[in-house]
Structure 1
């Protein structure tokens, strides 16, 4: 009985085994998803600073799409932009609410 050499399919299966992958062989699938702050952008949409919170929502969705396209650095940058624009939208919205309440109650008294 003769033994034949292992086929190329067998070699490819061994090369893709988890033991064959080392720490230096990181792929895009191994990189964790950067934060896109979608939840914060959605919360900021309830504040009355509409042009600004829509921009935060767009940045957040662009960050998600950038990650799906494989652009990790672009996704991180757009996520940071979404976070800061959403914070600004919430602060401006709270200021608008406070000023409108102050004006409303000042006229009643």
Structure 2
């Protein structure tokens, strides 16, 4: 996933809020009704639905209505795309740090050779 991606921006915006992160953590365990998801939070259902809307707009959560109950589940592909971005960043920085380590070893060896 490239750095300048509206999808990536939406995912990080959605995960930038502790309520939404808690919802994602809960849904990783399995699907749940909106009322079950909202129960732990000290807010009204309309406010909670806004959080859920942000997660849905980011593609992290999908919901379906079954009778009178709206059930939500995680959209794993979106999480996988964000994880791939983190892996790319980790690989980049590990390479940079490895190069720095090698440079430091070379400099230290040069100082030892001078003495």
Instruction: Report the TM-score range of the alignment, normalised by the length of the smaller protein.
Output: 0.3 to 0.5
**Higher strand proportion:** 2
Give the TM-score taking structure 1 as reference length.
Answer: 0.36
Structure number, greater radius of gyration: 1
Give the TM-score taking structure 2 as reference length.
Answer: 0.34
